[in-house]
Amino acid sequence: MSAPPLLELRDLSTHYVSARGTRVVRAVDEVSLTLEAGSTLGIVGESGSGKSTLALTILRLLPPAARITGGQILFEGEDLRTKSDGEMRRIRGKRIAMILQDPMASLNPLFTVGDQIAEPLRVHEGAGRAGSWSRARDLLKAVRISAPESRVGEYPHQMSGGMRQRIVGAIAISCAPRLLIADEPTTSLDLTIQAQYLSLLRDLQRQHELALIFITHNLGIVAKMCDQVAVMYAGRLVEWGPVTRIFDAPAHPYTQALLGSIPRMGDGRERLTAIEGQPPDLAAPPSGCAFHPRCPQAMAQCREQAPPETALAPRHTTRCWLSVPAR
Amino acid sequence: MNGARSATLTLAGRLASFRTEGFPLIPMSILGALLFLAVFANVLAPHDPEVGSLGERFRPPVWQQGGSEKFLLGSDHLGRDVLSRLIFGARVSIVVGFTAVLVAGVLGTGLGILSGYLGGWVDQVIMRVTDTWLALPALTFAIFLAAVVGPSEMNIVIILGAVYWTRYARVIRGEVLSLKERDFVRLAIVAGCSKRTIMKRHILPNVLNSAIVLGTLMLGVVVVTEAALSFLGVGVPPPKPAWGLMLADGKKGMMAGYWWLTVLPGCCIMLMVLSANLLGDWLRVKLDPQLRQL
């Protein structure tokens, strides 16, 4: 084994507990995966499957009702769960950055964009005013904003949506982080701007050897952007592996259904195939495998016991009884 | 103001735009004039406001029979010049009004931000204190405090600050609660800013507009309360020319027909409060960052 991977999650669990402690929601349940420096991981799943909670867990920014109940978050070989609040603050924004779901609202209306790009530099590197502003200009150039000299002194409301989003990107990479978590960064943009933004992220990733975690429910983006994909269902990682393998030969019935529900041009089907049934209530999940009520290949065993994590290849795991070899 | 547009407006629309658009000429000029009087009181006032001659008591204003040019707005029961006292009274009202609003504003805004942003037990403690505070009738509470600490201009400022900070705390806390869910605050958290930095750089500047608008509206309330305290004899101590005190002194003369002793200071209080409120309304619209033209 060489150097440790950039990020390794081991059996990570995060639960929400209601005020009286009577309801427990397993938002993230025993998730394990690894991410190498410079590579891209897509996390997909339905709304409420725990994607965003997983991202917040990595940054240790959970709401008060949520607790990390087990597992490890190894970032560059160190467990983030053992870090103090102050140490976590020094990691956030500097070594792990994040782009939020709605980058349009991520800018403070009262400060110039230059000020806001310079903020992480001032917080983390103690950069002075003049120094941080010239860095801000360089960053604006890096995210392909024309006339950065004059744009740096403008306010967010003077910019278009696509520009504001690129500025959020500039803020995220300002301290040269090793990992960037993007939580549905393109949902609020129209399609042409989306494509531009994604190619910008790719270029930034290549230039800065940045690892990306892409949280999305757009499988097209995953296919285009990611090296690995992690499929979440009801807080569990039902399948994780290289994008090419999973798109070609998905092992888990849920992944198969997810891929089957992508509309394709000219495949002649009249109707879209939807996944039958509703996502489960995480406070009262079905017994055994959480997907069994909707699974076309469910067996008796699925109702009784949750399937263990099974390795299909060195970096390809799934949780399904169908893939457990000795039955 | 846009001439072509206002020509097409109805009367009601024009009245509304008069309150919110353009430059607030009337309130600004009244407040400006009062400020001017307050600053240059020593030069402008024709007489010493605290010294009178008993031989010239109850002189009516100059345009009434028996009035003289020596006392343009008449004289009071001690023969002091009403005009001079009104001019110096502006100084008292403005100094007390502005500093009390500032004291209440700083205290209330600070506690409101802490309460809203930190939440938890800090929020609980500050808000329960605020609730209790608001349950006390403001004027009675002010009288009680004044009786305890004794009357002086300085004490009035402290009392008014202590009575009215709760309004700021409530309003600002509410603003902070919605601000802290905004993505730019969350982005600052994700970027590793400390709570102090976030409160200072992201929360405070965004609530400042509300605090300023609230301050202008509070100016009216504070001026009235100061006048009431002075009227009741627990405000600015006597020889000083405060408008409320002049009202109190003049009330004995009301029935005897010495109207100028009460009507004139009353008008001064009304003008100041009215212009503060008009200005507050205008500022509320103007300072909204979405409507602001940069």
For residue B21, the SS3 value is: coil
Instruction: Please report the ipTM that was assigned to this predicted complex.
Output: 0.72
Q: Decide if A61 and B190 are in contact by the 8 Å CB cutoff.
A: yes
Q: Decide if A123 and B187 are in contact by the 8 Å CB cutoff.
A: no
Of B182, B192, B202, the CB nearest to A124: B192
pTM (2 decimals)? 0.73
Residue A269 lies in a domain: no
Of A100, A110, A155, the CB nearest to B186: A100
Q: Decide if A97 and B205 are in contact by the 8 Å CB cutoff.
A: no
Q: Among residues 289-318 of chain A, which lie with CB inside 8 Å of chain B?
A: none
Q: Tell me, what's the pLDDT at A327?
A: 46
Q: Decide if B289 and A110 are in contact by the 8 Å CB cutoff.
A: yes
Tens of each residue's pLDDT in chain B, 294 residues: 444 444 445 666 655 555 556 677 888 888 888 888 888 877 777 777 777 777 777 777 777 777 677 777 777 777 788 888 888 888 888 888 899 999 999 999 999 999 999 988 999 999 999 998 888 887 888 888 888 887 788 888 888 888 889 988 988 998 898 888 888 888 888 888 888 888 888 888 888 888 888 888 888 888 888 888 888 878 787 777 888 888 888 877 777 778 888 888 888 888 888 888 888 878 877 776 554 443
List the single best residue of B117, B123, B178, B187 to mutate versus A (max A Cβ within 10 A).
B187
Q: Are A29 and A232 in contact (CB under 8 A)?
A: no
pLDDT digits (tens, 9 = 90+) for A53-112: 898 899 888 888 888 888 889 998 889 888 888 888 888 888 898 888 776 778 888 888
Task: Label the pairing between strands A7-17 and A66-75.
Answer: antiparallel
pLDDT digits (tens, 9 = 90+) for A114-155: 888 888 888 888 777 788 888 888 888 888 888 888 888 888
**What beta strand segments (E) does chain A contain?**
7-17, 24-35, 40-44, 66-75, 78-79, 96-99, 179-183, 211-215, 228-233, 236-242, 310-313, 316-318
Q: Are B128 and B141 in contact (CB under 8 A)?
A: no
Of B182, B191, B202, the CB nearest to A120: B191
Residue A49 lies in a domain: yes
Grade residue A269 by pLDDT with cuts at 50, 70 and 90: low
Any idea what DSSP says for residue A307? Answer: P
Count of domains for chain A: 1
What top-level class would CATH report for the domain B27-286? mainly alpha
List the single best residue of A90, A98, A104, A108 to mutate versus B (max B Cβ within 10 A).
A108
List the single best residue of B117, B175, B184 to mutate versus A (max A Cβ within 10 A).
B184
Residue A227 lies in a domain: yes
Which domain does A245 fall in, by range?
Answer: 1-95+220-261+275-327
Cα separation of A217 and A154, whole Å?
34
Residue A64 lies in a domain: yes
Cα separation of B136 and B147, whole Å?
16
Residue A17 lies in a domain: yes
Q: What is the CATH number of the domain that holds A61?
A: 3.40.50.300
- Type of residue at B61: P
Residue A12 lies in a domain: yes
The residues near A259 (Cβ < 8 Å, ≥ 6 apart) are A219, A247, A250
List chain B residues with CB under 8 Å of A157: 289-290, 294
